[in-house]
Every structure is written in C-alpha cells, then in structure tokens.
Amino acid sequence: MNTGLKITAFAAAVAATFGTAYGVGTGVDPVTDRGGDSDRTSTARHGEHEDTREETEKEKAGHTPGGLQISDRGYTLKLADAHIAADRKQQLRFTVVEDATGRNVTAYAKEHDKELHLIVASRDLTTYRHLHPTRAADGTWSTDVRLPEAGGYRVFADFRPEGAKEAQTLGADLGVAGTYEPRTLPAHSTTTKVDGYDVTLKGDLKTGAGGDLTLSVAKNGRPVTDLQPYLGAYGHLVALRSGDLAYLHVHPNGTPGDGKTEAGPGISFGTAAPSKGAYRLFLDFKHGGEVRTAAFTVYAGGAEGKRDGAAEKGDGAAEEGGGHEH
C-alpha cells in the first residue's frame, strides 16, 4: 500500500479528533479553528447555540495540555504515597476524586479497552512505564511498579469519568528516594532499538495540524508485517514535552480490521504539538505476544525547536526505549 496516500486520507479526520478526545493540539487544530472563525463572522451575537459554541472554542484555544495539572475539570488525582523507593517492586496506589462530592470516582468509560491508563515517567524522560492498574470497588487504583533510579517522576492518569464528554489527563509528582543523577535528554535520532527490533521514525512533529509521523518496525533487517493489535490499535504513542512533561496521547491513523490498515511495518500518526521544542516520543507496539516500547527525541518546529541542552547524537547514555509492565 502507498503509505503516503494512507497518511493523507486519514490525517484530516484524526487531526480533528485529537483536540476533543485527548486535548492534543487544541488551539492548534486549523480544521476546528477555521470552522469557528467563519461561524463567528456570519453568526456573531446570534442564537444561544452559537454563543455556547464560540465559548467552547475560546476555551479550547487557551487549553492547557494534559498532565500539567493535578486537579482539572472537577477531578483531582491523589497518590496514596508521594514517595517510593528506587529499584524495588512497589505498589503504587491512587484515587481520582470528584471535587464536588469529595468521593472517589468509581464509574469510568473505557478508552482503548481500559478504564484508566497510567503513565509514569522520570522528569529527565529516560524512564517510562505504561501501566494498567486495577480498581477496587471503592475507587482505589493499584499497580506494581519498579523504577530503576532515584529522582523526580510524573504520574499521569488518562481517563474519562462515566458521563464526561472527554477524556482528561491529570498529573502528579512522585519522588523516588535515593541519589539522583539527572541525565541529559537523549539525542535526536530517527532510529532506535528495543528488544532486538529496529524502529525508524519518519516525518516531523509539527506545532500545527498536518504533522504526520510514521514509525516502522523491523526485526533482523526485515520489515515486521504482522504487528498485533494492542488496545484496539497497532500502536500507541505518547509524547512528553521536555521541561514540563506536557502529555500528548496520540492514536494511529486507522484501526486493525478496518480493511485498509496494514499490520506493519509502518504505523502512522497524525499529531499536533502544543508548542515548539523538544519532546520524547514513546511508541508501544505489540509483536510476538509482548508489548514493547520504542523511544525517540524529536523537535517540534524543526531545529528551531531545539532550545534546551539535549545531548548531541553519540553521547546519549540514556536507557533505550522504556518499559511496559502489566
């Protein structure tokens, strides 16, 4: 199949979806914004419906990317422990509390087969975990996690309370005790290795819509064409912004079994970054019955976006990829 065509065909629809579904690129989605502008000129100060719509779009334009707040849209993320030990299996427990009632949320809508997706990442973006905790009847979530090194971490809960229109992502700080040696952001590279797989990145992360990324998976020099669906897709991509860990959960163009999406080697994503700068991409894909995570450093806005002290290619000593535990 012509990958270029596949990307083009799905890009528009996907770009339009992200804004509402995941808060990705809200305010930078020209499809939505353009529609809003023309509506505004023709229907300014008219019916209630248009006013409401306009407000929603204004709100969107100033929307904060996910993961930066511990409390947002009436919900608060509460970690049972703000500190854990390094390099030892620990239980991470938390709740999502509805601010209005003070009660734990116990009813969730499933997104990608799960009620809640939990991401744990080190502030220096060298450690990454994508976990699916278990919920007790009282709303307490728990999962085992082992974080190899001491330091500052961020915990992201990506969920949609039942009845809520959109999924949201709350973030909380987690301290891992011990001696901390911060690492430099791994250098930009378009290839990475994980578990014997070579993953290649094509395309650019852009600050407007129309940014397309294709990640291709190969093993022993051969393209992998039998990727396995994982949580309803051939790949899940999370982008974390270097410096503040703004969170973007990006879904691929096309769904397994839709008759046009191939099971590799390429997985394409339509993305829009909330700003220029450095991001670390974490791609989860499933092959051979296991979920693997490939990681890349990319710059939204091209070289111009390179503004921090990221390592130059060759001196990055950081751990390759990330971990995926279930």
Binding-site ranges for Cu ion (CB under 5 A)? 117
Round to whole Å and give the CA distance between 200 and 9.
22
Closer of 122 and 169 to Cu ion (Cβ) = 169
Cβ-contact 287, 227 below 8 angstroms? yes
Residues in the chain: 326
Cβ-contact 189, 202 below 8 angstroms? no
Report in angstroms how near the CB of residue 42 gets to Cu ion at its nearest. Answer: 42
Closer of 6 and 117 to Cu ion (Cβ) = 117
Round to whole Å and give the CA distance between 215 and 1.
15
Report in angstroms how near the CB of residue 156 gets to Cu ion at its nearest. Answer: 10
Closer of 204 and 325 to Cu ion (Cβ) = 325
The values of phi and psi at residue 228, to 5°, are -105, 140
b/e burial code for range 79-102 (CB count within 10 A of at least 16 → b): beeeebebeeebebebbbbeeeee
Report in angstroms how near the CB of residue 117 gets to Cu ion at its nearest. Answer: 3
Closer of 117 and 129 to Cu ion (Cβ) = 117
Closer of 32 and 293 to Cu ion (Cβ) = 293
Report in angstroms how near the CB of residue 67 gets to Cu ion at its nearest. Answer: 14
Closer of 118 and 310 to Cu ion (Cβ) = 118
b/e burial code for range 232-271 (CB count within 10 A of at least 16 → b): bbbbbbbbbbbeebbbbbbbbbbeeeeeebbebbbbbbbb
Report in angstroms how near the CB of residue 261 gets to Cu ion at its nearest. Answer: 19
Report in angstroms how near the CB of residue 250 gets to Cu ion at its nearest. Answer: 13
- Distance, CA of 81 to chain centre: 24
Residue 97 token pair? 């509390």
Report in angstroms how near the CB of residue 93 gets to Cu ion at its nearest. Answer: 18
Residue nearest Cu ion (C-beta atom)? 117
Q: Count the neighbouring beta carbons within 10 Å of the beta carbon of residue 312.
A: 9
Closer of 117 and 287 to Cu ion (Cβ) = 117
